Amino acid sequence: MKEGNLLLDIKDLHVHYQVYGGKTKVIDGIDFQVEAGKKIGLVGESGCGKTTMVRSVMQVLPTQARIPKGEVFFDGDALLKISKRDLNRVRGQKMSMIFQDPTASLNPVFTIGSQIEDTIRYSGMVKGNDKKVIHEKAIQALKDCSMPDPERLLKCYPFELSGGMRQRVCIAMALATASKLMIADEPTTNLDVTIQDQVLRLIRQLCEKKNMSLILITHSLGVARMMTDWIYVMYAGQIVEKAVTSRIFEHPYHPYTVGLMESIPKLTGEGIMEGISGKLPNYLNPPKGCRFQDRCKKVMEKCRNCKPRLFPVEENHQVACFLYERGRAEDPEVSHE
Amino acid sequence: MKRLKYILHRLLWSVFVLFGLSILIFCIARVIPGDAATMALGTRATEEAKELYREQNHLNEPIPVQYVYWLKSAVQGDFGQSTQTRRAVSSDVAEFLPATLELILFAAILEIVGGLLLGVLCARYAGSWFDNLIRVVSYVGISVPAFVWAILFMLTFSFLIPILPTIGRISAGITVPPVTGFLLIDSLIAGNFQAFGDVLKHLIMPGTALALAGIAQSARITRGSMLENVEKDYVGSEIASGMPLRRVYARYILRPAASPTVAIIALDIAAMLGNAFLVEVIYSYPGISKYGINAILNKDLNAIVAVVLVIGVTFLIVNILVDIISSVLDPRIRA
């Protein structure tokens, strides 16, 4: 990626959680880049740290989380270092986040209107906080998400809306203020399939319209393929593979990615998929070397002792696995590094 | 409109509750041991005099008949005579109730402001030294009874550092023309600010002693209830939208968390009406709580019934208020 175009640049990020009996190293040295206007998919199994990573960009981590090391640059600001006030300005005007559960991400005791309008008010994007202007912006945000009858909707409480409606309200709220980056943390997990499709299309369409970048967290590789330009595969707090979306589906390299792809059930009915055996390592005391070693079929001696960094295997395709330390070792047509 | 109908509905039911309460307390007052006539006239009264007293007060009739007599005069506002003060019970209540209400309202304000403030601060800085300190101190607040505080305060602020008045509602020599019976209000009506300050000084110690346990309890409940909400996604999305933390805590976390606190504080305030007794005794505060306990000790039948009814009415009003406040705070209750 070209450095000049970077909107978000995460460098060597570590996140630990203080828990009883020590600290869990949930994010372990992640590098992550988002170019302006690009849509990035972040995939990986539950508990691998996807949400923690994006929450540390937004700085909405739980209280027991610590960031001992790492830097997050966003649009010229070092997010981990700037003042609270500047951080709030960045959050208010440049980036927004949509959370997983639409039933939980709207405050139950305030009307939709007061929540959207307050978001707009505190983003500082309306000069002098003119009530009328704020109200119109809120209406416009709902209209952008093709919500019917926005005036009435503003007077509703969240419990009066369906799950799909609530998620669209969340999207409207996020888009009302954000202008550069949208983070969507499994926005459709709790919605039924037909609504899922609508919501995803809406997110994509709005991001393209405003030329915003998108980080989409998802379990579903199908969703990632449909929505994104780049895909980052995460395993146990580390990025194990990153590539242009079309490439990674054509040729996954990392044994974990390969397993992930193989565990998608096929419609042709070949029985239950094999999947990946084993479970995530213990974050309190993660294994030395590659974190995937205990579940990997191709594990080597080196994997037990050393931590692999990302090795380039093709243009726009990097893998953190010693199998590809010297390029595509299995594939002689690619020249060595 | 819907809310008005709801309140009227509740008030209608309250009448039945009060009716039931009056029957219950009427019977209990007459069942407790002791001879009302002896208590009223003294041990040296002749048997004839006692008999005459019983006759006059219908004490020889069966209890249901006595109740009908009582009810007949009660609906006309006549709750009979008190044997302690030898005055109409209604005028006793009119004199002593405002004093206690004034004390309780003062304590209530302390409890609401102190409890909520400490609770919000503890939740905001959960796990910090401040939070830990308040949590430990609040255990002391909850476990030490109000009368111990009352004595400790008196010792400290009237004896060791004599800055506050010890007894009564108002210093001797200061008078305020009675209008409402609430001395704070009356002194303001009279424009007598010296009296206002004096009354306020008299309220500080008993009011604080009465409120401490409630402050500690409501602070803990507010803290816990807010922390339950802190990890919710909507808090994350509010913070992520660039709102300052202060506003997120003061508005978006406090309000969904406030319902249990409101319920606890309200019931606590209503209960103060009875609990104020020891504090009123210690500070010689002429309130209804002290009057009620004396009535029970002296088997002053009419006074007992009247005081219990007053407490009952207070509980009912407070409960209706809690329902209204909760429904304003949380729209889900309204639906």
Measured between CA atoms, how close is A58 to chain B, in angstroms?
A: 6
Pick among B223, B228, B231, B233 to test the A interface (most A CBs inside 10 A): B233
Beta-sheet strand order (sheet of A213-218)? A95-98, A181-185, A213-218, A39-43, A230-235, A238-244, A317-319, A311-314
For the ranges A81-85, A176-180, A252-256, the lowest mean pLDDT is seen at A176-180
Contact between B236 and A99 using a beta-carbon 8 Å cutoff: yes
Contact between A159 and B335 using a beta-carbon 8 Å cutoff: yes
Q: In the prediction, which pLDDT does B327 show?
A: 81
Q: In the prediction, which pLDDT does A76 show?
A: 87
For the ranges A89-93, A177-181, B29-33, B184-188, the lowest mean pLDDT is seen at B29-33
Q: In the prediction, which pLDDT does A334 show?
A: 42
Distance between CA atoms of residues B253 and B319, nearest Å: 24
What domains sit in chain B, N to C, each tagged with a CATH number? 2-72 (no CATH), 97-298 (1.10.3720.10)
Contact between B238 and A96 using a beta-carbon 8 Å cutoff: no
Q: Is A108 on the interface with B (CB under 8 A)?
A: yes
Q: Is A90 on the interface with B (CB under 8 A)?
A: yes
Of B231, B244, B256, the CB nearest to A107: B256
What domains sit in chain A, N to C, each tagged with a CATH number? 3-262 (3.40.50.300)
CA nearest A60 in B: which residue? B236
Q: Which amino acid is at B313?
A: V
Contact between B241 and A106 using a beta-carbon 8 Å cutoff: no
Contact between B240 and A160 using a beta-carbon 8 Å cutoff: no
Q: In the prediction, which pLDDT does A31 show?
A: 92
Contact between B240 and A60 using a beta-carbon 8 Å cutoff: yes
Q: Is B2 on the interface with A (CB under 8 A)?
A: no
Of B230, B242, B335, the CB nearest to A92: B242
Q: In the prediction, which pLDDT does A92 show?
A: 87
Q: In the prediction, which pLDDT does A133 show?
A: 92
* B332 neighbourhood in chain A, CB within 8 Å: 108-109, 157, 159
* A110 neighbourhood in chain B, CB within 8 Å: 252, 255
pLDDT digits (tens), chain B, 335 positions: 677 787 788 888 888 888 898 898 888 888 877 777 887 787 788 888 888 888 888 888 888 888 898 888 888 888 888 888 888 888 899 889 999 999 999 999 999 999 999 999 999 898 889 999 998 988 888 888 888 888 999 999 988 988 888 888 888 778 888 878 888 888 888 888 888 889 899 999 999 999 999 999 999 999 999 998 888 888 988 888 888 888 898 889 999 888 889 888 888 888 888 788 888 888 888 889 889 888 888 888 888 888 888 888 888 888 888 888 888 888 887 65
**What is the share, in percent, of chain A residues with pLDDT greater than 70?**
93
Q: In the prediction, which pLDDT does A273 show?
A: 64
CA nearest B123 in A: which residue? A63
Of A63, A97, A159, the CB nearest to B240: A97
List all residues of chain A from 230 to 259 with a beta carbon under 8 Å from chain B: none
Pick among B234, B249, B253, B259 to test the A interface (most A CBs inside 10 A): B234
Q: Which amino acid is at B84?
A: Q
Q: Is A123 on the interface with B (CB under 8 A)?
A: yes
CA nearest B256 in A: which residue? A109
Would you say residue A2 has pLDDT above 50? no
Distance between CA atoms of residues B125 and B78, nearest Å: 55
C-alpha distances (whole Å) from A156 to each of A31, A108, B325, B332 are 42, 11, 20, 11
Q: In the structure, what pLDDT confidence band is assigned to residue A333 with cuts at 50, 70 and 90?
A: very low
CA nearest A98 in B: which residue? B237
Please determine, for the modelled complex, whether the ipTM score is greater than 0.85: no
Q: In the prediction, which pLDDT does A332 show?
A: 42
Of A88, A99, A110, the CB nearest to B244: A88
Tokens of B150: 């009352």
Beta-sheet strand order (sheet of A77-78)? A22-35, A6-19, A65-74, A77-78
Q: In the structure, what pLDDT confidence band is assigned to residue A336 with cuts at 50, 70 and 90?
A: very low
Distance between CA atoms of residues B13 and B17, nearest Å: 6
List all residues of chain B from 201 to 230 with a beta carbon under 8 Å from chain A: 230
Q: What is the pLDDT of residues A35-55, one digit of tens each?
A: 999 999 999 888 888 999 999
Would you say residue A335 has pLDDT above 70? no
Distance between CA atoms of residues A295 and A24, nearest Å: 20
Pick among A90, A105, A156 to test the B interface (most B CBs inside 10 A): A105
Q: Is A31 on the interface with B (CB under 8 A)?
A: no
Would you list the DSSP string of A25-40? EEEEEEEEEEETT-EE
Q: In the structure, what pLDDT confidence band is assigned to residue A9 with cuts at 50, 70 and 90?
A: very high
